[in-house]
Structure 1
Amino acid sequence: MSDSDGPRLATADEFPEMMELLDRYFSYERDGMAARLPYCYDPSRMENHAIIRKDGRIVSHVGAFPQTFVIGGEEVECWGFGGVATHKRYRGNGYMSELIDFWFDRMEARNVPLAELSGNRQRYNHFGWEAAGREFRYEIHGRSFSGTDSDHERVVPYDGGDERLDLLRTLHGEEPYRVKRDEERSRTVFGQRGLETLLYERGDESAYVSLSRESRARTIAEFGGSARGIEVVLTHLFESYDIDTLTAVVPPRHPLNTTFRRHSRTWSLRNHRNLKILDPATMLDRFSDQIRRRWRSAAETGDGSLTLGVRGADDAVRISYTPETVDVASTDDEPELELDENDLVALLFGFHDRKRELKERHPILAAVLPLDFFVWKTEHV
């Protein structure tokens, strides 16, 4: 057996071979993963792909895709991990761990505080990823819209044109929790295979719905705009398409949750993504606007502070609060509350009942947690 080459970044010349490995395990369609997730698998962005070669072939790959979370009025950088694949004949050699550590080193050098991925929580738990965030799923039936006023002539498909893309970008830009997009990324996202977007164009009532289009059991992967506009688009879908049921994936605290709930037979609350916190102080600083707003809404009295730390880390983060505001700062003081990586994610981003005893002990935690973020299904890596 020859020596291995890597972990290292893949080159543009290696793109076809890299995609052959990924398509072997993740895709069974024409043009494979590159067509399914064009915002991830692009030969002009090989800096997002790390590989290991063995015996003259690519045997393992892990991708890390820089993205910026918008969380209300703040932004935080979070790299999405995807395309985690090792050829079955080379598994058990630790290649996945080497590639993940390769990316962690690069993230720490660039002060990136967060990493996210989907997939099996237990598989990635020992790397520090833990279930985080929340999403509502609503099962919507066409009979709920019988008798609803329709406005079919104003519902049009997105055709790639600049004017409609501008409207989509405007409506999406009003979402409080999202991944930041420039014009190029917006065009790529809305133009990806397997996605259909319908627009309702009517001034302040404008709205859009992006949904999967490969089966009758379709999923609303993204939406934006007014409640009235969303209802018009959904009425059009049920009246014009051969579908009986839609599943809508909706962020927590979203103003349209009441609209989707009104038209739903059933709904559920689920974990959203898996998060790993590489830099708690930077991460909490970026969420400080969300923390302050919730603290003020709680109308708590009294001053106080709490120092959080990750077990084994050199520094910690102090959260200081008064009735009017909250401040977040890095500190080298001994933490009052020291947790391992997974427990810190569970505390800050898990469901309300995660780490309940800690929240009950510290009023600042009970008032502001869990913190919210959201990655629309149109951009899952």
Structure 2
Amino acid sequence: MTSAIEGPRLIRPGEFRETMTLTERCFGFERGGLERRMPHCFDQTRPNRHAVVTCDGDVVSHVACVPAELRAGAATVECHGIAGVATDPDHRGNGYMTQLLEFWLDRLDSQDVPLAELEGDRLGYGRFGWENAGREQRFRITRRSFTADPAGFADVRQYRSRTDFELITEIHDRERYRITRTDRRYERLLEQRDLETLVFDRDRPAYLAYRGADPASVLEFGGSREGVTTLLGTVLETAAELEVFTHPHHPLVPSFCDLAIDWETRPHRKLNILDLPATLEAYEPLLAERWSTVVDDFGRPSGTVTLAIDGSETTDAVTVTYDATGVHVERTAREPDVVLDRRTMTRLLFGSPDACWSIRRSRPFLQAVLPLEYYFWQTETI
């Protein structure tokens, strides 16, 4: 008897719990575990974030897509994240994951979303256009390599009150690289399962969110150097070692270098450039800011560079014009100067500083303004 396959489609009323049961089973979580661990992704009130394939009425495959807005200085970039990719073991090999990913990519394209991101296997997801993008630093700090004034511990408390909430949101909203958060998103992030959040409340306040014991993982922090250092010392009262995750350009990185026994820089997440002109248009403020710092004895050079992704329509090319007055980005039908496949374009724009070095070196403007930056704090992994 032939099975009745339906989808990919968005879930219907009443299917959320069955969908989450499948996803939690595939990821090894207990019932409700993913909702408590990643409440900003798996939210029963947001059914339009979940797509499924069903077999004879049972949910057998699932992929979620969660909207986010990247912040990089004055730049804001819409970017949707793929999460909860799960297929029942008895139904694998039928192409359901491919169908669901293509379902979401088609929807994002129709909604003019410029970027999509995810975590996962680079080679597997690379078939759909995702590539390593961005950088993250991980510092290892141990009790024996750390000194802090215990007197400051008296000003440390657990996050509990509305006053603490407002302190945290005020500090985090000043971060240069982050994801835009509503109050609801803040609340859901701070209520994650097993997440401990500490607040330092003096004239130079700070906060720190961590999970685990040995090592403890510091997933998010913010505020003054004095406050963050005191909070690290507080965690090290009960943990012999901790890991701190952050963006390489965070102003506290030099302090972590002084404290750490070692550190590493690694690819952050994976991006898929769905619309190249829209991506660079959104990043125009960051491009202009960086270009404004390029000064030589003869002033800034002027010119244009036109980029395109191989196989795209001609109108998917983008021209960046630069001169002494600034930077302007626009969609164009011009013949491109640089044509790259989708993943190589991601490495050029968002890779490590030495990625696509020959292209950057041949065009001083690109060398001056790239790579572009973004950062998902570990508390809000999608």
TM-score surpassing 0.5? Answer: yes
Equivalent residue of 1:127, what SS?
Answer: coil
- In structure 2, the residue matched to 1:254 is 250
- In structure 2, the residue matched to 1:174 is 174
Q: Are the counterparts in 1 of residues 118 and 269 from structure 2 also a CA contact under 8 Å?
A: yes
Report matched runs for 1:14-29 at 5 Å.
14-29=15-30
- In structure 2, the residue matched to 1:191 is 191
Equivalent residue of 2:301, what SS?
Answer: coil
Is 1:121 the counterpart of 2:131? The answer is no
Percent of matched pairs sharing the same residue = 38
Q: Which runs of 5+ in 2 are unaligned?
A: none
Is 1:317 the counterpart of 2:318? The answer is yes
The C-alpha deviation readout for 1:215-270, integer Å capped at 9, x for no partner, is: 4211110001011110111122223x2x1111000102111100111100101100
Is 1:265 the counterpart of 2:256? The answer is no
Q: Are the counterparts in 2 of residues 34 and 42 from structure 1 also a CA contact under 8 Å?
A: yes
Is 1:289 the counterpart of 2:323? The answer is no
Q: Are the counterparts in 1 of residues 21 and 31 from structure 2 also a CA contact under 8 Å?
A: no
- Of stretches 229-238 and 256-265 in structure 1, the one that deviates more from structure 2 is 229-238
- Of stretches 3-12 and 143-152 in structure 1, the one that deviates more from structure 2 is 143-152
Over the aligned positions, Cα root-mean-square deviation in angstroms equals 1.3
- Measured at CA, do residues 216 and 147 of structure 1 come closer, stay the same or move farther in structure 2, by a change above 3 Å? closer
- Measured at CA, do residues 12 and 224 of structure 1 come closer, stay the same or move farther in structure 2, by a change above 3 Å? farther
Is 1:230 the counterpart of 2:231? The answer is no
What CA distance in whole angstroms lies between the structure 1 residues aligned with 2:270 and 2:369? 20
What CA distance in whole angstroms lies between the structure 1 residues aligned with 2:78 and 2:171? 22
Equivalent residue of 1:175, what SS?
Answer: coil
Is 1:107 the counterpart of 2:111? The answer is no
Equivalent residue of 1:313, what SS?
Answer: coil
Equivalent residue of 2:292, what SS?
Answer: helix
The C-alpha deviation readout for 1:158-190, integer Å capped at 9, x for no partner, is: 12x211111110011010111111111101101
Q: Which runs of 5+ in 1 are unaligned?
A: none
Q: Report the Cα offset of residue 21 of structure 1.
A: 0.7
Matched residue type, 1:179: I
Matched residue type, 2:154: E
Equivalent residue of 2:219, what SS?
Answer: strand
What CA distance in whole angstroms lies between the structure 2 residues aligned with 1:364 and 1:149? 49
Q: Report the Cα offset of residue 294 of structure 1.
A: 1.2
Matched residue type, 1:345: T
Is 1:352 the counterpart of 2:353? The answer is yes
Q: Report the Cα offset of residue 308 of structure 1.
A: 0.1
What CA distance in whole angstroms lies between the structure 2 residues aligned with 1:99 and 1:248? 35
Matched residue type, 2:189: V
Equivalent residue of 1:378, what SS?
Answer: helix
Q: Report the Cα offset of residue 119 of structure 1.
A: 0.8
Report matched runs for 1:27-176 at 5 Å.
27-29=28-30, 31-146=32-147, 148=149, 150-159=151-160, 161-176=161-176
Q: Report the Cα offset of residue 106 of structure 1.
A: 1.2
Report the number of matched residues.
376
- Of stretches 137-146 and 26-35 in structure 1, the one that deviates more from structure 2 is 26-35
Return the TM-score normalized by structure 1: 0.96
